[in-house]
Amino acid sequence: MSPSSVDGHTEEALSSAAAVAWHHHARLAGWPMQWPLTVHDRRGCADTDDVFAACLEHLAQATNDGKVRPLITVFAPRTDRTHRIWNSHLVRYGCWEGRDGDLLGDPLNLELTGAIEALGWRPRGGPGRFVPLPLVIEPPRGRPRLYEVPRELILEVPITHPEYDWFARLGLRWPAVSPVSGMVLRAGHSRYAAVFNGWHAGHELSGRSFVEFNRYNLLLRIARGLMVESDDDARWIDRVATELARAVDHSYRTAGITVSDHTALPYPLPPPTHPTPAFTHQPSPWR
């Protein structure tokens, strides 16, 4: 039985729903520049191996040797009888807590890292600041399964600065593309599990991932490198954010990786002119 005969949507209808939903989603950066959106219909995946294979296919085609391709992979409608991916993204870095309470890695993924290690996984070479986590795919019945994403499929960008050589010594890097694996595409009455990516917006890294307190928390460290006084005048934060944004943009463009800066984004986005399917980020439960 074909997927379209199960849930009523042909591949053409599914592609149309995904394109319209993406176009009107306020948090998905770069929609005018990235058109069209490629849609992979994988509603027929039968087991965790099939889901993992679809995820690898998505990552490889989205990365596209750095010329990032907007892509959505659509799985069967979400129910308690469908597979679930624990990870919020196909590529995310783990986090470990030391005996002194210091965190190594991306604190956003501390709890997920612990849950994955409880399944028996250990990082090759030990914990680190930028260690990609394996995917965990849970079938409707049975134990969750671990899948290592081949390192050759994870294209990473070392973060350097066009003016300050010491920036490279911070040892920062980030994936060229990190598809979101906890998406839901609503089309009609169906809620499809989906993996989606656009391209990175530079300000996501410079304003969030590298500087937020519950992420890599590098504001003060970069401020010291810039010899900026972190006093009560909050303008020092603007200086750090500006130089970090320059570094991210420089690094991605030097590496030939598609990236968008905040000045290129259509903000504020125009409101929808007619009812559209909803495309929302709903991380899969993994506990």
Query: Mean pLDDT across the stretch 16-23?
Result: 77
pLDDT tens across 44-98, in order? 998 999 999 999 999 999 999 999 988 999 998 877 677 899 999 999 999 999 9
Q: Is 253 exposed, middle or buried (0-12, 13-18, 19+ CB in 10 A)?
A: middle
225 vs 35, more confident? 225
Instruction: Check residue 92 and give its pLDDT.
Output: 96
* Radius of gyration, CA atoms only, the chain: 20
Q: What is the mean pLDDT of residues 222-228?
A: 90
pLDDT band at 29 (very low <50, low <70, confident <90, very high): low
126-157: buried (b, 16+ CB within 10 Å) or exposed (e) per residue? ebebebbbbbbbbeeeeebbbbebeeeebbeb
The answer to whether the beta carbons of residues 75 and 194 sit under 8 Å apart is yes
Closest CA to 161 of 88, 58, 254, 87: 254
Order of strands, sheet of 135-138, starting from the edge strand that comes earlier in the sequence: 84-85, 135-138, 145-147
Residue 270 has pLDDT above 70, yes or no: no
pLDDT at residue number 7:
60
pTM given for the model: 0.84
CA angle 35, 37, 40 (to 5 degrees): 165
Contact 147, 137 (CB under 8 A): yes
